[in-house]
A and B are shown apart, each in its own frame.
Chain A
Amino acid sequence: MPFAADVADLLLDPWRSGITSRALMEILLIAFAAGPLGCWVVLFGLSYGAESLTHAMLPGLVIAALAGFPLMLGAALGVVIAAPAVALAGRLPTIGADTAIAVVVTSLVGAGALLALAPASPAGVQELLFGDVLGVSSGELLLTAALVAVVLAALRGAHGKLLTVGFDRANAPAFGASPRAADALLLLLIGAFTIVAVQALGTLLVLAMLVGPAATARLVTDRLRGMMALAATIAAAGGATGLYVSYYADTAAGASIAAVIVVVHIAAVAGLRLSKAYLKSGPVTGLEPAR
């Protein structure tokens, strides 16, 4: 069956080398954590905070790159600098949380760019911004697996408390769930996730994997378990598809993955609108806006 063999070749070719198969494993591991964690980020309205954290860790990454340390160590350093800065800025009473966070994030990204673009610095700032999933080593893959396991175990253990806080913050303490502890845990887990995912997706694209699939899943289901499973599936499928696109169209891997996730989200929004319009008024004959 030459056709079946052709299709199999088409599907399997990209993963025949160690580099690409490690990249696929890395992306799938990240997707398993991104699904459930992203759902909490979306439900708690933490997308902006998560974006701030991922962008603001750039100086840590640059310092690691300059010093020749592993990127994960740099990411950890970046989170240690960025998390308290973002958290403290959010509490400034004078200019409002979002403005203060924007100032902190811009300052840290600027500082990172300044370091990265200095004449003495080696080239490679692009990797930090957009990731290099094909450069993942076996050791980094193991570390990713360990951190993903920690993130998933923490989410499983804290599921009830997170659910209670998200449902009714003001009254959650009466049910033994502290809103502050829930926020702190999520920030910590976003930090851990970012440390893992930044190698593959870079500081600018890591959020696509975290928030995109969860936002899409939120559109189509009103059950949390289903939402988490669907988000992980979209992240994994989007990641694998992005790597295919990257392999066959010779595009950047991280950007291809982010693009696929965004396309899936837009398709879901459009599909839902069309189906709502259809249910409301029968077959769609014109381009009437859906309500």
Chain B
Amino acid sequence: MPGVMKLLEVKGVAAGYNGTPALRDVTFAAERGTRIGVLGPNGGGKTTLFRVLLQELRASRGTVALDGRCGTVPQTERSRLDYPVSALDVALMGVLPRLEWWRRPGRDERRAALEALATVGLADVVHETFGELSGGQRQRVLIARALVQEADLLLLDEPFSGLDDRSSDRLMELIDDLAREGRGVMVATHDMEQTRAWDRVLCLNVGQVAYGPPEIVLTREVIETTYGGSIVVLPSDDQGFTAGVLPAHHHVHPH
């Protein structure tokens, strides 16, 4: 709709580290309530894009327009599991950016954190130690923290890694719920089958390979370009092929 401000508009963005490009020519836009899967190999620019969106890294070219707040949900492996914090303590970290540095979270902030934990289905473990929760629960605590930040766009960095099927299903449902509330959700992942359930797919291999609805974007050619390798076609359902990608240096050995 012309004239309506989109949640996110990224135009011609490039970024890198110490002069080495890690991301270039990225252009896409998203409405509120959009679920975007971000596919790409390691070093393909997924994390760099997230850092640009979080304004931790300056884009060397291009523009980012975000109508709202951006919240990050990092990989749980990055947080310390031996740290003496409860799920509530972690969720409360989300209020820090909007509190003066000398102020401590008050009753309102605690209520917001408890509500966020209830939203992600963790109302009964708010006082549990973060490191003693399951991988799926820890991931949801970090999502609650982003909700406490009042994030309109949530960036999830490989949230499914290490989760069992049940936890993955619950996380998929939670992502759907968050989108229904009108939040944008971007999920960096290696699992392209997962992205078929979402609204958009962004394929990155330093440069942007493709962006659009999964049924259009996820072609064999796009996936090969994204991962720089060749595809192994596995038995599939009716919706299309199921692909596994071999890296570019892979050789098939005769048996």
Contact = CB atoms under 8 A, between A and B. Distances in A.
Nearest to A177: B96
Contacts of B71: 174
A175 interface: yes
Interface string B64-108: 000000011010001110011110011011101101011011000
Contacts of B74: 168, 170-171
B104 to A, nearest CB: 7
Nearest to B76: A168
B129 A222 contact: yes
B124 interface: no
Nearest to A221: B84
Contacts of A166: 80, 83
Interface stretch (A153-161, A261-269, A272-280): A153-161
A173 interface: yes
B159 to A, nearest CB: 14
Given A161-B101, A174-B56, A222 B84 contact: yes
A175 B56 contact: no
Contact of A161 (B86, B92, B94, B96): B96
B105 A160 contact: yes
Interface in A212-231: 218, 221-224, 227
Contacts, number: 66
A256 interface: no
Interface in B100-119: 101-102, 104-105
Interface residues of A, number: 25
A174 B85 CA distance: 19
A177 B90 CA distance: 13
A224 B84 contact: yes
Nearest to A166: B83
Contacts of A170: 74, 78
A176 interface: yes
Given A160-B93, A175-B93, A167 B56 contact: no
Contacts of A43: 83-84
Nearest to B50: A174
Interface of A: 43, 156-161, 163-164, 166-168, 170-171, 173-177, 218, 221-224, 227
Interface of B: 54, 56, 71-72, 74, 78-80, 83-86, 89-90, 92-94, 96-97, 99, 101-102, 104-105, 129, 131-132, 145, 149
Given A167-B93, A224-B84, 15 more contacts: A158-B101, A160-B93, A160-B96, A163-B89, A164-B93, A166-B80, A167-B83, A167-B90, A168-B79, A175-B149, A176-B96, A176-B97, A222-B129, A222-B132, A227-B84
Shortest 9 CB-CB distances between A and B: which pairs?
A: A176-B97, A157-B102, A168-B79, A171-B74, A224-B84, A174-B72, A164-B93, A222-B84, A222-B129
16 contacts: A160-B92, A160-B93, A163-B85, A167-B80, A167-B93, A168-B79, A174-B71, A174-B72, A175-B93, A175-B145, A176-B97, A177-B93, A177-B96, A222-B132, A224-B84, A224-B89
